[in-house]
């Protein structure tokens, strides 16, 4: 094989980058579990007809086929399987399939790769890792879970080595109530046009609302006035009220939006802020209550790195409907641009904290015992692969960022050297421990420094 090239859209990490990704995934898991979310994993494949229920994603699906499948193989389901493009469709199917064995409300997290056959670009990949949390109940789901999802993500972002992030919140009820209050009949069509505000501008939106959706100029300007409102606290209520539109669903949506803002007021920091942004329309088609998006400072061009919302029917089997609320963090989407800019890396490319030097090949068994003693106290250790000169063994450690080299010196006792400072001290394999900050690789870089 000659030297292979990467495949566009299928990113892979070098060992130091993978250490960062692992620590990020560890932090996600820890926070999710502290909040009582249970892990599940679903198979990579779903029946194609399930994947194609959302029509617009159909072009992005990878289908599977056994290379040697017979064209008419009757019992081969693989001809109708595709790779999942998100973790929501598989989760909804999992809930229905196991509904008798799960306890509701069911809180789950799921961290897995997903696949989309899109044209790759920064922030958009053909294979990427998502981390999802959802709370799903039978028949009805209390609103307070919509506040809770934002609270969990506040805990998450406080722990991740990312640039500051801002969680943006909107409410489908608020928008729909306001539009109905304006007398707009086709709320969905109007929302889809307002969603293009970034692309076609206010004048373009107003023109399209009037000419294509059939709104009056006053209605169109009313839609634009609402989309301009953003804010961090209950003052958004006053600005909405000042627009003079009334509708019961609008009141309900405003109340809920304010509860999300107030429920996260104590969790904000210079790393994590929360704000209402009534221009967010993406996903309002699917969602029925609160909607979340997330912007990463300095990386606004990525769009939202963490999105979700409330569905009144995340799943349904005809008899029972399962409402849910959840959010999905694009792990690869957030990390890849930081890796490619060198903003995030690990203090070493290996878990190893100590290299046990090998004085001579005959002493490998003794060195392996030293290593085992250190491992017994949770210290990651390698024994030197060769009994080369000590200078060469030290360079082996240096090249990997391994901070300590252990010298087993027979009757004279053991010594350990911090190869960064050159300090070398007597040490007991049964007792020595490295400083806590050297035990495992640490994350370094400007993004981590904002900690």
Minimal distance in Å, beta carbon 375 to a second copy?
Answer: 4
Site for a second copy in 285-344 (CB under 8 A): 315-318
Minimal distance in Å, beta carbon 236 to a second copy?
Answer: 20
In angstroms, the first-to-last Cα distance of the chain is 44
Site string for a second copy, 181-200 (x = CB under 8 A): --------------------
Spell out the residues 6+ positions from residue 366 whose beta carbon is closer than 8 angstroms to its own.
408
Q: How far apart are CA 123 and CA 305, in angstroms?
A: 9
Q: In terms of C-beta distances under 8 Å and separation of at least 24 residues, what long-range contacts does 231-234 make, across chains too?
A: 231/275, 231/276, 232/261, 232/273, 232/274, 232/275, 232/276, 233/261, 233/262, 233/265, 234/258, 234/261, 234/262
Minimal distance in Å, beta carbon 174 to a second copy?
Answer: 22
Q: Does 54 bind a second copy (CB under 8 A)?
A: no
Question: Residue 33 in 3-state DSSP?
Answer: helix
* Site stretch for a second copy (CB under 8 A), options 142-150, 157-165, 172-180, 296-304: 142-150
Q: Which of 27, 86, 96, 446 binds a second copy (CB under 8 A)?
A: 96
CB of 126 or CB of 333, closer to a second copy: 126
Q: How far apart are CA 401 and CA 208, in angstroms?
A: 59
Q: Does 350 bind a second copy (CB under 8 A)?
A: yes
Q: Smallest Cα–Cα separation from 434: which of 410, 411, 402, 390?
A: 402
Q: Which of 117, 298, 445, 446 binds a second copy (CB under 8 A)?
A: 117
Q: Are 421 and 327 in contact (CB under 8 A)?
A: no
Site string for a second copy, 57-76 (x = CB under 8 A): -xxxxxxxxxxxx-------
Spell out the residues 6+ positions from residue 423 whose beta carbon is closer than 8 angstroms to its own.
417
Minimal distance in Å, beta carbon 142 to a second copy?
Answer: 6
Site for a second copy in 354-373 (CB under 8 A): 364-365, 368
Strands across the sheet with 127-136, in order? 38-39, 106-115, 127-136, 321-330, 306-316, 290-296, 165-171, 272-277, 230-231
Q: How far apart are CA 383 and CA 396, in angstroms?
A: 11
Q: Does 444 bind a second copy (CB under 8 A)?
A: no
Minimal distance in Å, beta carbon 434 to a second copy?
Answer: 13
Site for a second copy in 385-424 (CB under 8 A): 385-386, 399-400
Q: Does 151 bind a second copy (CB under 8 A)?
A: yes
Q: Does 242 bind a second copy (CB under 8 A)?
A: no
CB of 159 or CB of 192, closer to a second copy: 159
CB of 109 or CB of 292, closer to a second copy: 109
Q: Smallest Cα–Cα separation from 54: which of 226, 244, 257, 311?
A: 311
Minimal distance in Å, beta carbon 98 to a second copy?
Answer: 6
Segment (H or E) for 38 = strand 38-39
Q: Does 47 bind a second copy (CB under 8 A)?
A: yes
Q: Does 137 bind a second copy (CB under 8 A)?
A: yes
Q: Which of 54, 122, 144, 410 binds a second copy (CB under 8 A)?
A: 144
Q: Are 363 and 356 in contact (CB under 8 A)?
A: no
Q: Does 426 bind a second copy (CB under 8 A)?
A: no
Q: Does 78 bind a second copy (CB under 8 A)?
A: yes
Q: Determine the size of the site formed for a second copy (CB under 8 A).
A: 96
Burial bucket for residue 446 (CB in 10 Å: 0-12, 13-18, 19+): middle
Question: The tokens 């990463």 sit on which residue?
Answer: 296
């Amino acid at each position: 094989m000659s030297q292979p090239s990467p495949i566009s859209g299928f990113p892979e990490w070098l060992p130091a980058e993978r250490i960062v990704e692992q620590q990020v995934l560890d932090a996600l898991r820890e926070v999710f579990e502290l909040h009582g979310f249970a892990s599940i994993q679903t198979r990579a494949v779903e029946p194609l007809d399930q994947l194609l229920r959302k029509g617009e994603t159909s072009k992005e699906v990878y289908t599977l086929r056994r290379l040697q499948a017979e064209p008419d193989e009757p019992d081969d389901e693989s001809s109708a399987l595709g790779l999942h493009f998100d973790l929501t469709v598989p989760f909804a199917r999992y809930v229905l399939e196991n509904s008798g064995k799960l306890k509701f409300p069911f809180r789950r997290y799921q961290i897995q790769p997903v696949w989309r056959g899109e044209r790759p670009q920064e922030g958009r990949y053909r294979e990427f890792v998502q981390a999802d949390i959802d709370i799903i109940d039978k028949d009805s789901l209390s609103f307070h879970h919509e506040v809770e999802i934002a609270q969990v993500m506040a805990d998450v972002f406080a722990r991740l080595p990312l640039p500051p992030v801002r969680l943006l919140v909107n409410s489908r009820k608020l928008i729909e109530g306001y539009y109905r209050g304006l007398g707009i009949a086709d709320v969905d069509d109007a929302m889809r046009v307002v969603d293009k505000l970034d692309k076609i501008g206010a004048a373009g939106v107003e023109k399209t609302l009037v000419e294509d959706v059939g709104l009056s100029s006053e209605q169109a300007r009313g839609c634009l006035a609402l989309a301009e409102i953003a804010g961090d606290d209950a003052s958004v209520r006053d600005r909405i009220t000042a627009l003079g539109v009334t509708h019961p669903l609008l009141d309900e949506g405003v109340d809920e939006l304010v509860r999300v803002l107030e429920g996260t007021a104590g969790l904000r920091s210079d790393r994590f802020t929360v704000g209402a942004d009534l221009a967010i329309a993406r996903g309002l088609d699917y969602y029925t209550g609160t909607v979340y998006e997330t912007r990463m400072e300095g990386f606004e061009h990525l769009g939202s790195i963490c999105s979700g919302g409330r569905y009144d029917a995340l799943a349904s089997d005809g008899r029972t409907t399962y409402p849910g609320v959840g959010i999905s963090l694009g792990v690869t989407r957030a990390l890849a641009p930081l890796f490619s800019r060198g903003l995030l890396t690990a203090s070493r490319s290996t878990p190893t904290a100590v290299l046990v030097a090998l004085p001579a090949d005959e002493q490998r068994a003794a060195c392996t015992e030293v290593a085992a003693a250190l491992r017994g106290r949770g210290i990651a250790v390698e024994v030197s692969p060769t009994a080369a000169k000590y200078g060469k063994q030290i360079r082996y450690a240096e090249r990997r960022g391994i901070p300590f080299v252990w010298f087993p010196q027979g009757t004279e006792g053991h010594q350990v050297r911090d190869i960064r400072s050159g300090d070398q001290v007597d040490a007991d394999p049964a007792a020595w421990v490295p400083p806590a900050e050297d035990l495992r690789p640490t994350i370094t870089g400007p993004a981590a420094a904002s900690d």
